[in-house]
Amino acid sequence: MRRSRIKSDDECSVGSGALIVYIAMILLAVTISFTVINITESISQNTQKTAEDVRRNSVNSVIITGAWVYDNQDDMLFMMEFGAAGEPVDRVDVIYVLTCTEPDGTFHYRSAALGDSQGGSAIHVWEVGDDGPVDNPGFTNVNNFQPGARYFFTLDGGTQASPGGAAGECGPPHLDTHGISANLYLHIPNGQSIHQILTLSNGREIGSQII
């Protein structure tokens, strides 16, 4: 009768050792895969954050650096400065809103593209350092604002319904008569809106500051 050969303990030990090594290699591969995925995700998130930071730093911005009574009627003169970052902005894309409220609660507002009087006195826009409408008979408005540049612009008092009205609501004489302040908002594309409170410093006298 043929006797079956029984495997030795040594051979069993070799098989068990190989199985342990195989399982260890699988665990190591899983660990490495998880680490690679985690690093890739972190790099992706950091890249998105950096791109968002760059986008925020490159948006258009503008501030009002000065404001004065411009004439004996209801016109005002403003100086604005665009941020060094961002991109050129078309004048017609900049929207202004002028508002004020009388002591009895009567609210007035006026809004249009910068440089558009909507029927009131002509509104002028020019770069600081260039001749304005008074000194330049052939004056034409600036049509494009450059990053980092400063510009003058005028605004005329009045309401949306009556921009050329004699009352000149929210203009210097109106503010002086009622003892109130006005609000100026500028809205620019790809940027934040700004708000400036307009308060007379020396009545309606030409050249007196209104911020």
At residue 59 the predicted structure's pLDDT band, cuts being 50, 70 and 90, is confident
> According to the per-residue pLDDT averaged within each range, which of 12-21, 43-52, 92-101, 198-207 is highest?
92-101
Judged by phi (left if over 0) then psi (alpha if -120 to 50, else beta), residue 119 lies in left
* 150, 127 Cβ separation under 8 angstroms: yes
* 90, 151 Cβ separation under 8 angstroms: no
Residue 142: other Cβ atoms inside 10 A: 18
Average pLDDT, the chain: 84
* Residue 185 β-bridge partners: 97, 195
Comparing 32-36, 54-58, 92-96, 144-148, which segment has the lowest mean pLDDT? 54-58
At residue 26 the predicted structure's pLDDT band, cuts being 50, 70 and 90, is confident
Could you say which DSSP state residue 60 is in?
B
Under 8 Å CB-to-CB from 195, ≥6 apart: which residues? 183, 184, 185
Nearest in space to 97 (alpha carbons), one of 203, 178, 198, 210: 198
At residue 128 the predicted structure's pLDDT band, cuts being 50, 70 and 90, is very high
Under 8 Å CB-to-CB from 176, ≥6 apart: which residues? 200, 203, 204
* 120, 112 Cβ separation under 8 angstroms: no
Buried b (16+ CB within 10 A) or exposed e, 146-175: eeebbbbbbbbbbbeeebeeeebbbbbbbb
For the chain, give the percent of residues with pLDDT over 90.
46
Q: Please compute Rg for the chain using Cα positions.
A: 35
At residue 134 the predicted structure's pLDDT band, cuts being 50, 70 and 90, is confident
Nearest in space to 80 (alpha carbons), one of 109, 106, 60: 60
- pTM reported for the whole predicted model: 0.71
Q: Please, what is the Cα angle at 188 between 185 and 130, to 5 degrees?
A: 90
Q: Which CATH architecture has domain 62-198?
A: Sandwich (2.60)
- Name the residue with higher pLDDT: 44 or 5: 44
pLDDT digits (tens, 9 = 90+) for 176-200: 999 999 999 999 988 888 999 999 9
Quick one: average pLDDT of 66-72?
92
At residue 8 the predicted structure's pLDDT band, cuts being 50, 70 and 90, is low
Comparing 17-21, 58-62, 98-102, which segment has the lowest mean pLDDT? 17-21
pLDDT at residue number 48: 59
Domain spans in the chain, listed from the N-terminal domain onward: 7-57, 62-198
pLDDT digits (tens, 9 = 90+) for 80-112: 999 988 899 999 999 999 999 999 999 999 998
